[in-house]
């Protein structure tokens, strides 16, 4: 649903015109945005990611909402100016730009933001209203995670000035390629047949694999997710899936947080980003492990979940809620993932991805061997 650069100004102008006409007629203007929450999320295995339902958030102009609407139109004007000039900003920078505008024009004082969360929520509201990504409004997030290594991949980036940059990942040695969170500007090409892509939850472990020669021995793409995948990682995986059509495996910890917050988000997107899951989720990604049966098969060290730890207790509670309410986990197609979650809730144990290093402590590439063995055997969900 990525919108082209000229589409956003057109949409915005038409929205403002509608509001102005309503005001002229003393009619209350209404702003509508998709409701981005779990109760408005739908999941179909054919689509593969969470999509929005019919629910909308309606904001009608009244004395209580006039501040929110004024702020939205004020920030929209700044964002449109950015689109016009090609300038880009982060949310933090936009917060300061807005404060600067107020500083230089005292009549705007009532719009002043007390902290960044206020301006952030207005930016999110604008995106939901225009049904676009904030990147479409030239508002970029920090490109966290997604450091990619491969001996077979060439990336071509279309630059804002019309030029092109070509990056051959095999020439980068052990340095990674960092994907941007505007995937539509990237084109991928395989130098030779790529067998699979491995997404590792821990960036440190991904580094270890590369340094130990994973990419030399395997025609693969290896990337580190660095925890909950950012837009950049999500968009990048989607791109690999669509353009290279290779199997993608996710290798991470066996715990409720990983299953629900990391793997689900990578595979099907999130409820908070319903309007952009189509471009920021990779439905073909498979969960390679650590699987519950791996603990026994490889005699891995696992740990009891400490329910006294608030974050772990919260995670378990969220997981049990997800089984009841999350359309992704409620779908029969994802029965395998559900079984893992149920196992975690029942046994209250967790096992980390690094536990593969206990199998043969003196063999640095043993985890790689296990991973390859699992792929070969089809031992994934």
Partner 1 sequence: MARQKITTSSTAEYFSKNLQQVGFSSPTKAVLTTLKEAVDNSLDACEDAKILPDLYIEIKKAGAGTIKNTDLIKIIVEDNGPGLEPDEVPKVFGEYLASSKFGRGRCSRGQQGIGISAATTWAQLTSAKGVQVITKTPKMKQAFSCLVLVDIKNNKGIIKDKKPVQWDRPSGVRVEFLIDGRLQLQGEGGLLTYLMGTSLVNPHLTLKFKILDQAVQKVERVTQECPHVPDATEPHPHTMKLGEFIGHSHLFGKSTAATWLKRGFSRISSKALEDFVKNGLNKKLLEVTVDKLTDAQFKEIFAAIHKTELMAPTTRSVMTIGEEAFSQSIRRLGEVDFFAVLTRRPTICDFKPVAVEVAIARLKSGAVNVGELNANEETSVQVLRFANRVPLQFDKSACAMVKAIETVNWRTYGIVQPKGSLPQGPYVIAVSLVSPFIKFKNASKETVDASDELVEEIRRALIQAGQRLSRHIRQENRAADLEEKMRHIEQFCPILVDCLCRITQAPESRKKKATEGLVKLLGRDVNVAKLQLQEATQEAKKAKAAGKLQVVDDESLADVEADDSAPKTIAKKSAKVKTDEKIA
Which 359-378 positions form the footprint of partner 1 (CB under 8 A)? none
Q: Does 73 bind partner 1 (CB under 8 A)?
A: yes
Q: Considering beta carbons, is residue 76 or 319 the nearer one to partner 1?
A: 76
Residue in 27, 58, 92, 189 binding partner 1, rule: CB under 8 A = 27
The string of DSSP codes covering 159-204 is -TTS-EEEEEGGGGTTPPB---S-GGGEEEEESS---EEEEES-HH
Residues sharing a CB contact under 8 Å with residue 242, sequence separation 6 or more, in sequence order: none
Q: What is the CA radius of gyration of the chain?
A: 23
| Single residue of 2, 3, 11, 16 touching partner 1 by CB under 8 A | 16
Cβ distance 276 to 265 under 8 Å?
Answer: no
Where in 311-330 is the site for partner 1 (CB under 8 A)?
Answer: none
Rounded to an integer, what distance in angstroms lies between the CA atom of residue 227 and that of residue 253? 10
Q: Which of 253, 367, 341, 349 is nearest to 305 (CA)?
A: 349
Does the protein bind partner 1 through residue 282 (CB under 8 A)? no
Does position 23 interact with partner 1 (CB under 8 A)? The reply is yes
> Which residue matches tokens 């007390």?
114
For the record, the structure tokens of 264 come out as 């689900």
Residue 15 or 198 with smaller CB distance to partner 1: 15
Cis peptide upstream of residue 290 (ω within 30 degrees of 0): yes
CA distance 2 to 276: 8
- Given candidates 28, 189, 306, 335, which one binds partner 1 under the rule CB under 8 A? 28
Span near partner 1 by CB under 8 A; candidates 65-73, 88-96, 153-161, 340-348: 65-73
Nearer to partner 1, 28 or 58 (CB): 28
Which of 11, 108, 190, 345 is in the footprint of partner 1 by CB under 8 A?
A: 108
| Region from 11-19, 299-307, 315-323, 339-347 binding partner 1, contact rule CB under 8 A | 11-19
> Which residues of the chain form contacts with partner 1 (CB under 8 A)?
12-13, 16-17, 19-20, 22-28, 61-64, 66-67, 69-70, 73-74, 76-77, 80, 107-108, 110-111
């Amino acid at each position: 649903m990525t919108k082209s650069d000229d589409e956003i100004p057109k949409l915005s102008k038409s929205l403002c015109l509608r509001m102005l006409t309503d005001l002229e007629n003393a009619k209350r203007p209404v702003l509508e945005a998709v409701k981005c929450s779990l109760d408005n999320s739908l999941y179909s295995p054919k689509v593969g990611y969470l999509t929005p339902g019919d629910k909308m958030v309606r904001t009608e102009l009244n004395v209580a909402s006039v501040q929110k609407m004024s702020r939205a139109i004020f920030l929209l004007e700044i964002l449109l100016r950015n689109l016009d000039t090609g300038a880009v900003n982060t949310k933090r920078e936009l917060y300061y730009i807005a404060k600067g505008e107020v500083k230089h024009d005292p009549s705007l004082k009532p719009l002043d933001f007390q902290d960044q969360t206020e301006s952030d929520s207005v930016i999110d509201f604008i995106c939901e209203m225009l049904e676009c990504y904030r990147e479409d409004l030239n508002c970029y997030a920090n490109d966290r995670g997604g450091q990619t290594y491969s001996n077979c991949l060439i990336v071509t980036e279309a630059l804002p000035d019309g030029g092109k940059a070509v990056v051959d990942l095999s020439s980068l040695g052990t340095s990674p390629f960092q994907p941007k969170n505007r995937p539509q500007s990237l084109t991928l090409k395989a130098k030779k047949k790529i067998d699979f892509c491995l997404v590792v939850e821990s960036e440190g472990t991904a580094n270890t694999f590369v340094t130990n020669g994973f990419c030399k021995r395997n025609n693969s793409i290896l990337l580190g997710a660095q925890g909950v995948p950012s837009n950049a990682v999500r968009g990048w995986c989607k791109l690999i899936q669509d353009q290279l059509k290779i199997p993608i495996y996710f290798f991470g910890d066996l715990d409720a947080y990983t299953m629900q917050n990391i793997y689900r988000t990578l595979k099907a997107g999130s409820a908070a980003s319903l309007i952009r899951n189509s471009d920021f989720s990779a439905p073909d990604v498979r969960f390679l492990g650590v699987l519950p049966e791996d603990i026994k098969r490889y005699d891995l060290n696992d740990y009891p979940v400490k329910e006294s730890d608030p974050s772990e207790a919260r995670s378990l509670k969220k997981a049990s809620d997800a089984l009841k309410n999350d359309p992704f986990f409620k779908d029969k197609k994802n029965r395998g993932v559900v079984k893992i979650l149920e196992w975690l809730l029942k046994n209250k144990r967790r096992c980390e991805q690094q536990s593969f290093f206990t199998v043969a402590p003196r063999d640095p590439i043993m985890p790689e061997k296990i991973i390859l063995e699992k792929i070969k055997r089809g031992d994934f969900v």
